[in-house]
Copies of this chain bind each other. A is one copy, B any other.
Amino acid sequence: MSPPGPVDSIDLQEQRARLAALDVPDVVHELGRLAPTGRAVAFRLLDKGRAVEVFEDLDPALQAELVASLQGEAASIFGALDPDDRAALLDEVPAGVARRLLAALAPDERVATASLLGYPEGSAGRRMSPEVVAVHVGTTVGATIDRVRAAGEDAETVYLVPVVGDGLRVEGVVSLRRLVLSDPATPVEDVMTSPATTVHATDDAEDAANVVRDGGFVGVPVVDGEDRLVGVLTVDDAMRVLEAEDDEDSARTGGTEPLRRPYLSVSVLGLVRSRVVWLLMLIVAASLTVGVQSYFEDELAQVVALALFVPLLIGTGGNAGSQAATTVVRASAVGDVRTGDVARVVGREMLTGLLLGITLAVVGVGPAILVAGPQIGVVLALTVVAVCTLATTVGSSVPLLAKRVGIDPAIVSAPFISTFVDTTGLIVYFSIAKAVLGI
């Protein structure tokens, strides 16, 4: 066996060569697959320039972890980030580290970063680029291009140039493409798009990002309460916001908290933490099903056959409810459905559930009668219609009502709907059984 020292250094050289051969996005993915110590070691093996590029593209949670282990180098990497990326990172690190990092910044950079931190978490203001090239409405195309060139690398975005009037009010926007294609002597007013679509700094970041995506914009100007330009939300800012929101919605639809970092970089205990509270809440809710069945224990003891169909019926109710909840939550996330549409949506879903229930009853009544006899067959058919209608009604209304009172609809979606439908579905089932079977 060789002594550990030299072997380790050969391993490190190999790893350095392997990382050097990868694209930046691939390095980012590689780092996301390592445990924290391995990640810190691998990060130190990167060239200075690439290290900053890689760092920029890491999830803020991983950035925060690296910053803690990097000590002195952290300040220089932090200084190389864009203000919005800095604000996102500062949200993740302890207050002491945040103060140290901010103190090491150049004064103007500190102002730009601090201005973002003044907007509420989750707002468009937090995610926008404050370093924007904007020109006055009286300028020419040529002068605008000169401004873009003068701002150079300092401006985070130059693809969208806001055109402002007095008091920084946004009069229009002009894309870099349009500037390059136009005659330099033309007044910028003649080539700008006006009125420009803008968003407010306090708008929800997801809503603002949807505006960028739906319009196919390279960015939209962000304005404050007095309609003054304060930044631009660029298309890549928007993509990141939407990816994070999709992560969150997808996790909560599945009954877990979002991980907010790559799956393989999360420890098993981290996975347990993201799920255990949900499971506990759901099991407490599910204990209602025990209560309902205890209440009907006499009927169960009389007709044990009733118990055979419980998993099938509540499973079907759960599935129908999940379908409705998933569809409505997604429609609401992409803006196809608004909170004012509750009545219309729930009406459609109720009818959909009724039709689904009738279809399942018609298809399933034959086999059910063969297995369980005509009387229980009738009970099952009636129950499936009632449970499906109930499930789609609850599955569509609860998320929309939650949104109306300011709760993320994804939180109250599939798993909670299933559990609720389990309990109410059992009551419906046993009540129908009592009536039809006369027990």
List A residues at the B interface (Cβ < 8 Å): 23-25, 28-29, 32-33, 56-57, 145, 148-149, 152-153, 158-159, 176-177, 180-181, 197, 211, 213-216, 218, 235-236, 238-240, 242-243, 246-247, 249-251, 253-256, 259, 262-264, 268-269, 271-272, 274-276, 278-280, 282-283, 286-287, 289-290, 293-294, 297, 300-301, 304, 307-312, 314-316, 318-320, 322-323, 325-331, 334-337, 341, 344-345, 348-349, 351-352, 355-356, 359-360, 363-364, 367, 371, 388, 414-415, 418-419, 422, 426
Asked whether, in the complex, the Cβ of B352 is within 8 Å of the Cβ of A268, the reply is yes
- Whether B276 and A359, one on each chain, are in contact in the complex, defined by CB atoms closer than 8 angstroms, is yes
Chain B's closest residue to A367 (CB) is B287
Give 10 A-B pairs besides A57-B215, A158-B180 with Cβ atoms closer than 8 angstroms. A23-B215, A176-B180, A250-B253, A254-B327, A255-B322, A256-B327, A279-B388, A289-B311, A289-B315, A290-B371
Question: How far does the alpha carbon of A351 sit from the alpha carbon of B272 in the complex, in Å?
Answer: 9
For this complex, 27 residue pairs linking A to B, each with C-beta atoms less than 8 Å apart, are: A23-B197, A57-B214, A148-B180, A149-B180, A158-B177, A176-B176, A176-B177, A216-B236, A246-B250, A247-B334, A253-B254, A254-B326, A254-B327, A255-B322, A259-B327, A263-B328, A264-B336, A264-B344, A271-B327, A275-B356, A283-B315, A286-B316, A310-B311, A311-B426, A318-B418, A319-B415, A322-B414
Q: With A215-B57, A243-B334, A254-B323 in contact, do A310 and B312 touch (Cβ < 8 Å)?
A: no
The majority secondary structure among interface residues of chain A is helix
Across the A-B interface, give the 7 residue pairs with the lowest CB-CB distance, nearest first: A254-B326, A263-B331, A289-B311, A262-B336, A307-B307, A25-B214, A286-B312
Contact of A304 among B213, B264, B301, B314 (CB under 8 A): B301
Q: State the CA gap A179–B188 with chains docked (Å).
A: 20
User: What's the least CB distance linking A373 to chain B, in Å?
Assistant: 13
CA distance A254 to B430 in the complex (A): 27
Identical copies in the complex: 2
Q: Which of A153, A213, A274, A315 has the most CB of B within 10 A?
A: A315
Are B316's CB and A348's CB within 8 A? no
Which chain B residues border A211 with CB–CB below 8 Å?
25
Cβ contact within 8 Å between B323 and A250: no
CB proximity of A377 to chain B, nearest CB, Å: 13
Interface centre among A263, A282, A419 (most CB of B within 10 A): A263
Contact A322 B355 (CB under 8 A): no
Q: Which residues of B contact A325 (CB under 8 A)?
A: 254
Chain B residues near A310: list those with CB within 8 A.
307, 310-311
Whole-angstrom distance between the alpha carbons of A130 and B32 in the complex? 34
Report whether A323 and B235 are in contact in the complex, using a CB–CB cutoff of 8 Å: no
A337 to B, closest residue via Cβ:
B263
- Residue of chain B at shortest CB distance from A272: B355
Whether the pair B319, A278 counts as a contact (CB closer than 8 A) is: yes
Cα separation A26 to B215 with both chains bound (whole Å): 9
Query: Quick check: A272 and B352 within 8 Å, CB to CB?
Result: yes
Question: Which of B153, B236, B326, B359 is close to A235, meaning CB atoms less than 8 Å apart?
Answer: B236
Q: A211-B25, A276-B356, A356-B276 are in contact. Are A290 and B308 (CB under 8 A)?
A: yes
| Residues of chain B within 8 A of A33, CB atoms compared | 336
Which residues of the other chain, B, contact A312 by a CB distance below 8 angstroms? 283, 286-287, 289-290
The residue in A148, A279, A293 that gathers the most chain B C-beta atoms within 10 A of its C-beta is: A279
Decide: A327 and B286 in contact? CB cutoff 8 A: no
Contacts of A331 in B (CB 8 A): 262-264
| Shortest Cβ distance from residue A257 to the other chain B in the assembled complex, whole angstroms | 10
Contact B426–A352 (Cβ < 8 Å)? no
**Which residues in B have their C-beta under 8 angstroms from that of A414?**
254, 322, 414
Known contacts A308-B290, A308-B294; A32 and B268 CB within 8 A of each other = no
